[in-house]
Chain A
Amino acid sequence: MSDLTRRELLQAATAAMAVPLLKVRAAQAATPKFFTPAEFALVDEMSDMIIPTDAQSGGARAAGVAAFIDARLAEAFEKDEPLRWRAGIKAVEALSQEIHAKTFMASTPEQRLALLTRIAAAESDPKTDAEKFFGQIKGATIRAYYASKIGIHDDQRYKGNVIQPGEYAGYDAT
């Protein structure tokens, strides 16, 4: 706090907080707004398989990724976007029926992993709708998870967005 005077702190604080900020929590969907309960369950499970809980941090489920995706799709301006999700989920379910004769959620964890591994294998050049869905849900999961509280603080242990009253962090250009 060496070179931080009271006046400067006040100045910074009043400038930033001129008006109390309206903080709105990310939607915690008790019931999904766009997805059907079955679709939501699939998205929730698959996102958590993409970014699972590990020793470092909670995964996509804990971070509420599916609820975030659901809320965005429910209000989407471009209506082909939610339709693409619905079609992708349908393609995944069709593939699940084809290889395991069960819905994705009715499958065993091993069977789900086998399915996800299969559609992820073509990540760099997806052809089928199910393969394209992997890219879609992975991208959305990344976007939501790494901007979540768990993603930023627990997983990445991000050190920024703090007031540095004295010396700045880093190295001198000597």
Chain B
Amino acid sequence: MTLIRFRASPEQDVDLSQTYDAVVVGSGAAGGMAAHVLTSQGMKVLLLEAGKKIPIEQELRSMEWPYDHPRRGEAPPGYHAIRFNEYTVRQPPYAKGSAFKHVFSYVGGWGGSDYVKNILVDEKDHPYTGTRYAWVRARLLGGKTNIWGRLALRLSDYDFKGKTHDGYGEDWPISYADLEPYYDKVDLYLGISGHKENLPHLPDSLFQRPNKLTAAEVKLRKSLASMGRTVTPYRAGVTTDGVKNKYRSKCFGRGACGRRPGGCDIHAAFDSPTGLIYPAMDTGNLTLRTNAIGHEVLVDPNTGKARGISFVDAVNHKTYEAKAKVVILAASTLESARLLLLSKSRQYPNGIGNSSGHVGHNFCEHVMGPGVTGLVKELVGAEPTLDDGKPGGFYVPRFRNLQDKQPGFIRGYGFEGGAGFSIFPDSAWNTPGFGGQFKKSVRDHAGAFIGMGGFGEVLARYENYVDLDPEVKDAWGIPVLRFHYQFGDNEKKMCEDMANAGKEMLEAAGIEVIGVDKTILTEGWSIHELGTARMGNDPKTSVLNQFQQSHDVKNLFVVDGSSHVSASCQNPTWTIMALAWRSCEHLADEFKRGNL
């Protein structure tokens, strides 16, 4: 099937009478990678995406000036993004009873909400229940990769062998050496920008040219080096030198990535459709079915093996079956867990692949909120410079609990930050007064600020979990997830340390600290949910083996973030793709040998 043909008639084209070699549920980073690897191995793959395919370039309009938009980038009346105080005061489902026409997660409230209104899900159609959680979802071809934050980091054996290091939780069934070749493949195939630092806890990638630092960032980098800490240019999943891919351009430093909730209309930033799915379609081995909401893994009652997926058409609400020899879930950490739990049968009364009872459990992510803002005095009144023409500012890798042992908490956190001029002088909001003096003060200070916020590892705990709500259903009649998830003492202590350490670092650099934020953002805010179907060697305490293959059902794989054993403090997307590549290579080998 060609791309052109798909565009003409996406749904009707798909042949559901045949049995595919594999069906993949979800088209984000994990599903796109599964499609890429399996089709390049010659397997015939059906890719199901719950959302639609939208003309994303028209949606993102990366270089549109605010004043060329009728509402300066804001969504039309009737669209509402859930605010921090709503998340903290109310309980899910947050859109219940809302008078607004459409309700979005908090990401819809960032500058430029009009550019994501067709990317984020409408919370009214997609409720969830239970404890507070800021769940951000994007249902469309490519999922959240269309707007992801682009920070592309590797994990290390401090993560994979965390238990060996500090005694907590479980080690992963793999080590860095197992995954390193696949990180390399991801780097080369998709492109990554960064600067080599030779840190054992944050391994370098095969970098294309790095983004540059601003004056304030250089100042902080020099100062932190003397403390044995690092400020490195944002390691971006963005091709700065170009890759062999006709659907993508290299990055021209236009900088819209920081001005909006994300997204790149020339696809220099990785997104799954242009990076993985379109090239996979060009092999002739990939069939795409959009508007296909998977709701059950079908089981062959004779063999106990998976035989396909039952899905609901998002538009006509009818149910269809897709048949395949191998079933691969890549619907996201929470949606894949939901799908496993929904797949109840005589053989699998607790949901398929869930003999351990661990599906939905060991749910973890990153805690964020605490951060610092500083004023670099010598930059006040400086001539404006081009500071935001890049996919991100800087990253301060983890420095806690590596050689040292913190008294209050285990594991670590890193900081993401930025400094310098941007399109909107945010300091105007906090500049008192009015008139000529106010105006001049805003102008003089616009490029003199530096800010950074922490991202910390949330410990994987069995007690943090999701299950199916026995009553509430989504707009398609499918039971929704119910959250039982809260930060614990380790996260709270770590967050106190984040704020203090941030302040200390700015002060040490001779930067005036003008703001210390200690507020912990609502659970889910990092959009890094992980761990609901973890890998492990023991089928009693884990859901998947080291190849993300179900311990219970050998032709069932779950290749997204749900397989992660611990959250690390490093952003997960690059690891999700490296793991999926490794597992799908193994899968294709096993398939060819007839072992699935």
- Give residues in A with beta carbon < 8 Å to B: 8, 11-12, 15-16, 18-19, 21, 23-27, 49-52, 54, 56, 59, 68, 71-72, 75-77, 116, 120, 123-124, 138-139, 142-144, 146-149, 152, 155-165, 168-173
Chain B residue nearest to A158 in the complex (CB): B423
Chain A residues, CB < 8 A from B212: 168-173
A56 to B211, CA, bound (A): 31
Chain A residues, CB < 8 A from B386: 159-160, 162, 164, 169-170
Chain B residues, CB < 8 A from A159: 384-387, 421
A139 to B390, CA, bound (A): 28
Chain A residue nearest to B440 in the complex (CB): A54
B168 at the interface (CB under 8 A from A): no
Chain A residues, CB < 8 A from B218: 171, 173
Contact with A along B475-497 (1 / 0, CB 8 A): 00000000000000000000000
A49 partner, pick from B78, B265, B424, B434, beta carbons under 8 A? B434
A142 to B440, CA, bound (A): 13
A12 and B435 form a contact (CB under 8 A): no
A169 partner, pick from B253, B423, B429, beta carbons under 8 A? B253
B446 at the interface (CB under 8 A from A): yes
Chain B residues, CB < 8 A from A171: 212-215, 217-218
Given the contacts A146-B428, A161-B423, A21 and B389 also touching, CB distance less than 8 Å: no
Chain A residues, CB < 8 A from B78: 77
A40 to B403, CA, bound (A): 64
A50 and B438 form a contact (CB under 8 A): yes
A144 and B385 form a contact (CB under 8 A): no
B147 at the interface (CB under 8 A from A): no
B421 and A144 form a contact (CB under 8 A): no
Chain B residues, CB < 8 A from A161: 63, 65, 254-256, 259, 423
A141 to B76, CA, bound (A): 19
B317 at the interface (CB under 8 A from A): no
Chain A residues, CB < 8 A from B424: 146-147
Given the contacts A18-B57, A161-B423, A170-B214, A156 and B443 also touching, CB distance less than 8 Å: yes
A18 and B58 form a contact (CB under 8 A): yes
A168 and B58 form a contact (CB under 8 A): no
The 5 closest A-B pairs by CB, nearest first: A170-B212, A164-B253, A77-B77, A147-B66, A159-B386
Within the complex, what minimum Cβ distance (angstroms) separates B380 from chain A? Answer: 15
Chain A residues, CB < 8 A from B388: 160
A51 partner, pick from B58, B210, B429, B438, beta carbons under 8 A? B438
Chain B residue nearest to A155 in the complex (CB): B443
B70 and A16 form a contact (CB under 8 A): no
Within the complex, what minimum Cβ distance (angstroms) separates B387 from chain A? Answer: 7
B169 at the interface (CB under 8 A from A): no
